[in-house]
Chain A
Amino acid sequence: MISFSGVEKRYSATDSALDGISFDIFPGEFVFLVGHSGSGKSTAMKLLIKELEPTAGEIRVAGRDLQKIPRPRVPYYRRNLGVIFQDYKLLPNRTVYENVAYALQVTGGGRREIRDKVPDILRLTGLSTKLHNYPDQLSGGEQQRVAIARAFVNHPPLLIADEPTGNLDPETSIGIMQLLYRINQTGTTVLVATHDVSMVDKMRRRVIELSEGRIVRDEQSAAYAAAESTREFAIRMRSAQG
């Protein structure tokens, strides 16, 4: 699904944010990208959404070489990608419903499609009662749920999240992780960048750890949790917390 080979990113001649990293993520995986601030997580995420260009190396997503996507085609590439940010990045002038609908309007979705899909996805994310609220009337956790609904309404094959729980308390974070897990269960590949190590430990999924732009850990075969239902997942997460 995602393949980095020898990817390097330098912001200036002397300091490199990514120093030749290589890894592969396979369809349907749930992967954490961890590391301290400045380890290169966010740079890797920005390279994935083509907000930045690598200095060297090759990035492939769903078989496509990102370098070969011309600038005018970037929006079409991004539509195959659900993206979630630490600061939610919702449109402040639009209601919850309109924020999610915008992702469909961008792709040329008609009114009927919007009427069909938006309420569904908002129900899935537990926001049915907040349809006509504006983002500043919602809690952080609710705003992040709107962002996830927006990212997933097109059912992209890949969802990437940059510090999705960075601004949230532990209990709310579990709720968000549960939601991401549920999305992963539908077959969507999920990549989450985070510095929340305790969360990662509890999840027991594949972990790629970055430090100073290099991969220092990639536990493909480590203590992997068996496939479990969302409910089992939530129970385990909560019990581990206590």
Chain B
Amino acid sequence: MKPVFFLREALRALKRNAIPSFAAMATVLVTVLVLGVFIPVVQATTGAANEVRGKVIADVYLKTDAQQKDVDRVERVLKSEPMIKSVEFISKDAAYKTERERNPKAYELLGSNPLPDTFRITPGNPDDIAKIKDALAPEAAGGGRTVIDPAIDEVRNREEDTNKILAVTGVVKITMALLAGLLGVASMLLIANTIRLSLYARRREVEVMKLVGATDWFIRWPFVLEGVIVGLVGGVLAIALLAVVKIAVVDPLAADFALIAAPDTIDFPLLIGLLLVAAVAVSSLGSGLSLRKFLRV
């Protein structure tokens, strides 16, 4: 009997305060809509940035006279380094083959194979590339580098490219994270404010209820349910709009153009689930908490 009573009270309040209720609902709708567009955009951007960062690699050249046991030993050393995610071995023959295909005339002229065995290493975190280089070939006092294994000839990363890639993608990622954070905070404040306004208009009513002997939760439940309804309606409408846009605009585009190495974005069902839960939670918590001030009678 109680939940039914509270629900009836919530519906009555919505009906009797149609304009503030509509404002709160519209706020939820707009916010969810913006977040729903922004979250995949942020993900796509950071995904693209990460893909670029994946291209940060270093090459470990072995001496041309390295034997198989040297190769095995160096591989073990590289694999035991925790900052390295993967190690790819390119034998001198394999390297020779690819290079000759690329430039047959020059290699014909050379006759023999001048290329060394190479390990191509991908760091777990692209920012660690310089540290990995220092670990494999520590800087000597004189300014040159000494390698940690006698079979290694040189460790090289394309320093200029690497630094540029790291700087640019770093800025992009931080900017996106900041924007996402700001948008999240702005949404919460906007919804909370709208709710507070509609509550403020009804603070006298709350005062009267308290004076008649209503407990805090007896007064609060209808407001919380009202928030749930507002969040649910606003959220569902926004998601319907998002779905329309996705089906009408984004999906055909993705199919036709196969977006540049389409980075992983969040699944649509998961996205709308998250948005709906967030809308309802913010809206109902907002109502329940904002009421606290007016309950102190």
Contacts and interface: CB of A to CB of B under 8 A. Distances in A.
Given A93-B16, A93-B205, A75 B215 contact: yes
B214 interface: yes
Contact of B297 (A51, A72, A106): A51
Contacts of A106: 209, 212-215, 218
A110 B207 CA distance: 23
B202 to A, nearest CB: 9
Interface string B9-36: 0001100100000000000000000000
Contact of B212 (A51, A102, A110): A102
Interface residues of B, number: 18
A91 B208 contact: yes
Which secondary structure characterizes the binding site on chain B?
helix
A92 interface: yes
Nearest to A93: B16
Interface in A149-204: 150
Interface in B7-64: 12-13, 16
B261 interface: no
A103 B208 contact: no
B213 A150 contact: no
A83 interface: yes
B46 to A, nearest CB: 48
Contacts of B1: 110
B210 interface: yes
Nearest to A73: B215
A110 B4 CA distance: 12
Given A51-B297, A105-B5, A110-B1, A78 B208 contact: no
Nearest to A50: B297
B205 A75 contact: no
B141 interface: no
Counting contact residues on chain A (CB < 8 A from B), the size range is 20 to 34
B258 interface: no
B213 A75 contact: yes
B211 A91 contact: no
Given A93-B12, A93-B16, A107 B208 contact: no
A102 B216 CA distance: 15
A153 B108 CA distance: 109
Interface of B: 1, 5, 12-13, 16, 205, 207-216, 218, 297
21 contacts: A72-B216, A75-B210, A75-B214, A75-B215, A75-B218, A76-B215, A77-B213, A78-B210, A78-B211, A78-B212, A89-B208, A90-B208, A91-B209, A93-B12, A93-B13, A93-B205, A102-B209, A103-B212, A106-B209, A107-B213, A110-B1
Interface of A: 49, 51, 72, 75-79, 81, 83, 89-93, 102-103, 105-107, 110, 150
Given A76-B215, A91-B208, 14 more contacts: A75-B216, A78-B211, A78-B212, A89-B207, A89-B208, A89-B211, A91-B209, A93-B13, A93-B16, A93-B205, A102-B209, A103-B213, A105-B5, A110-B1
